[in-house]
Structure 1
Amino acid sequence: MKNHILKMAIWLLASVWLPARLSAQNQTLSLKQAIEQAKSHNRDLRIDSFNIAKSRQQTQISKGLLLPNISLTGQFQHYFQRQVFFGLNSSSSSEGVGYARFGGSQISGAQVTLSQALYSASAKYEIQRRRLLEKQSQLSYNNREVDVVAQVKQNYVQLLVLQQRLNLQYESIARNKKALADSRSLLAQGRALRVDTLRAYTLVKNLEPDVLRLTYALQISQQQLSTLIGSAAGTEFILSDSLQLNTSDSIPTETQAFRRSLMERPDFQILNLNKEINDKEIQLYKSARLPVVSFVSQYQLQTQTNKFRYDQAGWPPVFYAGIQVSIPLFTGMQNANRIALGKIERQQSDAIFDNAQEQLKTTIKQVTASLYEASERIKTQNNVSQTAELSYSITKYRYEKGVASRLELTDAELALTTAKSNYLEAVFDYLSARIELDRTTGIVNE
């Protein structure tokens, strides 16, 4: 019953997945192409690019604080009872104050007003702060780019390893099927026991579920890579690169990796920049206590008339220009509290940076240790794999000559498959550690 269910699952996978693969759009992809495509089309990077544009626009808005402001104002009023003026026809002994109504029923006017800041310390510091925030948004984009490139590399290597492991599984199934056919032949000739045939059959069936697992893992990894590089859904990638180890690559020391991380990593540059932003905010809060000097000017036209006879009304102009000084005397202790808040935020930025440095030291120690361990394991597993392959060849030859038993051949095949699988795992761990080292040190283009 279990074998029937397994066959049905394999048939269902072949009927659903294989047609989808044939109908999917194939794309040959190298690791370099994948990285470049991710830089151009990754959706997370595109979202962060909008933050850069927003920061630049905020800087332009801040620059407007030092540019002149020109406004045009117009007004119209209709008085149902004309305006009054007190103080007419009154004597000093009279308790009442006389008044008279004068002017027109309709009053109209227009003014053009100009205001230009001559000295504004707060505007200067605000522009400087906005420029730092613009730089921060660019560094945030660079930091996201480092993460995306590391994810692309990791996903690409994972795909290569999964393909190799799937091929290895197919090779193991082929060897065990050949052994099963031999056992059946020998059983028919009366030269082998039935238990050997049953054992060979069991080994073949035990390997088939791993094909399903690796196939589904390949599909998921393909979809993840498609999402990372912003490709169309359903694209089938044909990887043009292969698993290669450059033995000439040297592993940096912890001190070298730490120094490079402090210089190259965008997130640490952001932490340093936060200190400058806090300092600039403190200066901005302090500048709110300083006076603001502005040049002001206005040109005004005004008229009054009755019964809307504007054609007979006069339009006398009024024009003035001057200097305006604004000195804040008391603002409810807001400026003092803002300065105190800025100092606290500055101390917090220092603490965050120191904490990040200590965490970085631990991360680098883990990554370099993983690199050293994986590189040594590769050397060992490579020798083991070669030995297991030689052992299998010898055992197979002895089995064909009737010297070795079927159990010895099975053990040799299992040892060969395990050795190759362990070698692939060591290669994957080494490349993963190398990718993590690149991400930790902020490397994108290497």
Structure 2
Amino acid sequence: MSATLTRRTGIRFSFLPGLIFFSAVILLSPDAPLAADEAAKSAVSPGQTIRLSLDEALALFLKQNLDLLIAKFGVDYARGQQITAALFPNPVLSVSTAGSFAKHQFGERSSLTRSGQIYPQIQQLFEMAGKRGYRIESAGFGTQSAEANFEDAIRQLGFTVKDTYYRVQLAQRRLALAEENRDRFSRILEINTIRFKKGYIAEVDLIRIRLQFIDFQSQVIQFTQEADAARADLRQLLRLSPAVRLELTTELEFHRIDPDIDKLRMLALEARPDLRAKRHVQAQRLADLKLAKAYRYPDVTLGGGYAVQGPTGPDLQQQAMVSVGVPLPLFNRNQGGILQAEVAVQAAEADLNKTINQVENQVDVAYRNLVQSRRLVEAYLGGILEDARATFTIVERAYERGGATIIDLLDAARTSRTIQQNYIEALFNYQRNLFQLESAVGQEITS
């Protein structure tokens, strides 16, 4: 992306971070499967605790994820087809023999004589009308399409890694909030148990406090399970053992992003690897059509041989021969193959147009979701979050002095918990919508 565009928009656009690009190049190398396997064995050991930022998690994902390795095999397969397309047909060696018997009369006697011939011949097929060149062109576009599909796998799975990483952080934030509320109500329960024994509060109020404490305790268990499940998903994406303990260092925080939607649409059409893959497929189908039309013209087979004859036989004992073979295109001029190739070109064009429409709509939806979720987070940060916390503290102190009822305390606690949980979820949704927009555009977006 040019510096001019960066200055105009105030946003820096780049392909996936340099670390991801470098790792993708490594994965596309011929020794990638071995390198990835060695990385998986030596990166971390079971029982080890590793601290990962988001970028470090992405780097580990690129080295060890098996889905990426499977996608890389598709590139190797396409390269094999490209090598095959450039090969010449093998020559054909044939050897034929012939023998004859002749009866000779010598006076009253007769005898049989035998003669033989060995005829080796080599034939070579020569493809006409540029068939080999069209085949090489088609295979080249196939390889480029496979490489673009590999990049698209990085794009899609990279979003999954980011989303899973922050799902762990979301569960951690929820868990921390539930533990804070549980500990707070544990102290309130202890104090009011003493007050109940002294006859200062009714038993029903103590029961209500105890039920609220149990509710917070159940939330602690629930969010602990969610955090464990999210960590398991992340370990699977990073190809780590369940015995490996993860500590994530990139916090779930708010960073305002305000991109230009028109620039995003333009960038998506240029940067999305799945669009590039579809364009390469369309070019490949056009090359296949040219190849199908070239098959209307027959290929030529040239042959040469030398016949060696024994001492008995015709006078011409040594014979050299040259042959030329050309099929007569009277019936089959590849009419069906041309029709199929034309339909394939039309289908590839329709598929490309469909993908373009999908990309434009994905960018638009992701951008709108980002804007709405940003507004919600900013509304919480505008004072609502602090008001909910302050209200709970005020009501708790008033309850301790007898200026508020247990109903007021429980209501303030639930309101504070709900507001804080909603804020954490809004923050996560904002971050997730940003990742979705980056995935829809095909590039990282930072302000």
Q: TM-score, normalised by structure 1?
A: 0.79
Shift of 1:27: 1.6
Q: In structure 1, how many angstroms separate the alpha carbons of the residues matched to 2:221 and 2:309? A: 88
Query: Are 2:186 and 1:163 equivalent residues in the alignment?
Result: no
Match in the other structure for 2:440: 440
In structure 2, the CA distance between the partners of 1:390 and 1:85, relative to structure 1 (3 Å rule), is farther
In structure 2, the CA distance between the partners of 1:161 and 1:285, relative to structure 1 (3 Å rule), is same
Q: In structure 2, how many angstroms separate the alpha carbons of the residues matched to 1:70 and 1:277? A: 29
Does structure 2 conserve the Cα–Cα contact (< 8 Å) formed by 1:291 and 1:325? no
Match in the other structure for 2:67: 44
Q: In structure 2, how many angstroms separate the alpha carbons of the residues matched to 1:75 and 1:351? A: 55
Shift of 1:410: 2.0
Does structure 1 conserve the Cα–Cα contact (< 8 Å) formed by 2:47 and 2:245? yes
Match in the other structure for 1:285: 292
In structure 2, the CA distance between the partners of 1:395 and 1:329, relative to structure 1 (3 Å rule), is same
Match in the other structure for 2:139: 130
Match in the other structure for 2:214: 205
CA deviation digits over 1:193-227, x for unaligned, max 9? 11110000011112222222222222221121112
Larger Rg: 1
Q: In structure 1, how many angstroms separate the alpha carbons of the residues matched to 2:445 and 2:163? A: 15
Does structure 2 conserve the Cα–Cα contact (< 8 Å) formed by 1:113 and 1:299? no
Match in the other structure for 2:428: 428
Query: Are 2:244 and 1:235 equivalent residues in the alignment?
Result: yes
Shift of 1:271: 1.9
Structure 1 gaps, min length 5: 1-22, 90-99, 306-315
Match in the other structure for 1:354: 353
Match in the other structure for 1:308: none
Q: In structure 1, how many angstroms separate the alpha carbons of the residues matched to 2:343 and 2:304? A: 42
Corresponding letter in the other structure for 1:189: K
Query: Are 2:142 and 1:102 equivalent residues in the alignment?
Result: no
Does structure 2 conserve the Cα–Cα contact (< 8 Å) formed by 1:27 and 1:236? yes
SS in structure 2 of the partner of residue 238 of structure 1: strand
Query: Are 2:68 and 1:59 equivalent residues in the alignment?
Result: no
Match in the other structure for 1:408: 408
Query: Are 2:265 and 1:258 equivalent residues in the alignment?
Result: yes
CA deviation digits over 1:281-319, x for unaligned, max 9? 1100110122435664456767699xxxxxxxxxx8766
SS in structure 2 of the partner of residue 330 of structure 1: coil
Q: In structure 2, how many angstroms separate the alpha carbons of the residues matched to 1:368 and 1:118? A: 53
SS in structure 2 of the partner of residue 103 of structure 1: strand
Q: In structure 1, how many angstroms separate the alpha carbons of the residues matched to 2:232 and 2:284? A: 41
Shift of 1:37: 1.4
SS in structure 1 of the partner of residue 86 of structure 2: helix
Shift of 1:177: 1.2
CA deviation digits over 1:75-124, x for unaligned, max 9? 789xxxx64579x99xxxxxxxxxx76226xx7x5847363737451111
Query: Are 2:290 and 1:267 equivalent residues in the alignment?
Result: no
In structure 2, the CA distance between the partners of 1:75 and 1:144, relative to structure 1 (3 Å rule), is same
Corresponding letter in the other structure for 2:293: K
Shift of 1:134: 0.8
Shift of 1:43: 0.7
Match in the other structure for 2:374: 375
Does structure 2 conserve the Cα–Cα contact (< 8 Å) formed by 1:139 and 1:269? yes
Query: Are 2:362 and 1:363 equivalent residues in the alignment?
Result: yes
Match in the other structure for 1:393: 393
Shift of 1:256: 2.4
Match in the other structure for 1:121: 130
Q: In structure 2, how many angstroms separate the alpha carbons of the residues matched to 1:304 and 1:164? A: 100
Corresponding letter in the other structure for 2:209: A
Query: Which sits farther off after the overlay, 290-299 or 383-392?
Result: 290-299
Shift of 1:400: 2.8
Q: In structure 1, how many angstroms separate the alpha carbons of the residues matched to 2:102 and 2:260? A: 90
Written as runs of structure 1 = structure 2, the 5 A alignment for 1:317-356 is 324=324, 326-332=326-332, 335-356=334-355
Shift of 1:427: 0.5
SS in structure 2 of the partner of residue 36 of structure 1: helix
Does structure 2 conserve the Cα–Cα contact (< 8 Å) formed by 1:187 and 1:193? yes
Shift of 1:136: 0.8
Does structure 1 conserve the Cα–Cα contact (< 8 Å) formed by 2:269 and 2:359? no
Does structure 1 conserve the Cα–Cα contact (< 8 Å) formed by 2:124 and 2:303? yes
Query: Which sits farther off after the overlay, 132-141 or 293-302?
Result: 293-302
Percent identity for Structure 1 against Structure 2: 19
In structure 2, the CA distance between the partners of 1:158 and 1:300, relative to structure 1 (3 Å rule), is farther
Q: In structure 1, how many angstroms separate the alpha carbons of the residues matched to 2:268 and 2:74? A: 24
Q: TM-score, normalised by structure 2?
A: 0.79
In structure 2, the CA distance between the partners of 1:218 and 1:84, relative to structure 1 (3 Å rule), is farther
Q: In structure 2, how many angstroms separate the alpha carbons of the residues matched to 1:101 and 1:216? A: 98
Match in the other structure for 1:312: none
Structure 2 gaps, min length 5: 1-45, 106-111
Residues matched between the structures, number:
391
Corresponding letter in the other structure for 2:367: T
Does structure 2 conserve the Cα–Cα contact (< 8 Å) formed by 1:290 and 1:327? no
